Structure 1
Amino acid sequence: MSENTRVALVTGASGGIGRAVARRLAADGMAVGVHYAGNKTAADETVAGIEATGGRAIAVTGDVADAAAMTEAFDAVERAFGGIDVVVHTAGVMVLGPLADFDLDDFDRLTRTNVRGTFVVAQQAARRVRAGGAIIGFSTSVTRLSFPGYAAYAASKGAVEALIPVLARELRGRDITVNAVAPGPTATSLFLDGKDEETIARLAAQPPLERLGTPEDIAESVAFLAGPGRWVNGQVLFSNGGIA
């Protein structure tokens, strides 16, 4: 591998948006650490797809909220490729329900992954990403859309939006950008599961572009922030087709 090859670690890259991001960054010439939590088969398929097109990738695992596990995941990517330039944290969970009836055990599980997990990954990234690199978290357009039933999920992603500009300022002088992408309704299993066709059609009609986003749409926004978007820092990029 060339000394000039950039290296990315993408969490939650075994499927959905994370997989699309891993593939997109690999297409830009980056070596990619494909992180997964439970689905090793899907992660291995992502790696194989990247390698089939001439790219380099490895699969790494670990609970994003477990500091020791993520330390090992970052270590594995550094051992394989010599360093890390880009960290994209797509891993997350979504549990829906009205606030008044929301199960607090579900709330604890959601915040452990989405808030603590973001903090743990960002902490490792802040310690390791090389100069000229990028740290990219994931929020959601629901923080602005305020859909009923999304209180817990939106609250967890609001924490991500609060963290991003603080970390950008803490990394002053290191030539590292810190941003987040906030997708709108996107055709992934995470979004589609549990929704009937009428609900999906209604949401797809809301953006001026009159369709759901695709994982590849979101991956393009990530690729911009990971590559040429060097003057964008401490921001949340709403990638949602104009829905909000």
Structure 2
Amino acid sequence: MNTQQQANPPRLLLVEDDTTSQAFFHTTLMALPATVDTAASLADARQLAQANRHALWLVDANLPDGTGPELLRYLRTRQAGVPALAHTADTSPETRQALLQAGFDRVLLKPLAGSALLASVREALAGAAAPTAEAPDWDENAALQALNGQGAHVIALRELFMTELPGARAAVSSALQQHDTGALRAQLHRLQASCGFVGASRLGSAVRQLHQAPDSDMARRQFDAAVNALLHH
């Protein structure tokens, strides 16, 4: 941990209604080090989210006054691009899949070792997307690396990508308007892969944020701005 990270620890939101589990999570997370806001209900978590900006959310799948996915939808409307980890004692594959489909980046099974918790949180924080505005429209090095240095292939794929981009944007817009989560995630998944191949860095970052926060007006605006930047490049 470097000096700057120690001086400015990340602020985390921990949502857990069980007192013993909350104490375990809080004590473990403080060792990162981190500033940890704790909530025992959906209502408390909303209040903390209104008063603070967080670098990561750690949310119980089931709360006394709601569910983890319900809270996550609310949190995404306030901040885009924040990594979200769910935790649950339910080991069923169906529950894990449902939480991932709801937008959580990872599902942690309780009980878990402190070392496993810290490793998951550190990985999520390290992998958090940089703000979209910092990414270039086209990243030549990334495209060449993805296509083994074949410049001609980059040019050809970009031409195809640009031809299909208006249709992809229309499909994303339609899925958002119809609140079709499955269609939206499928379209964003395909678009994310294409951005990686052609080095569409800014759009790729915007796609990640929209995937994480489909209800966020900011994420939608960033997506539209990134598409327009490429179409009018």
Structure with higher Rg: it is 2
TM-score range, shorter chain: 0.3 to 0.5
Q: Which has the higher helix share?
A: 2
TM-score by length of 2: 0.39
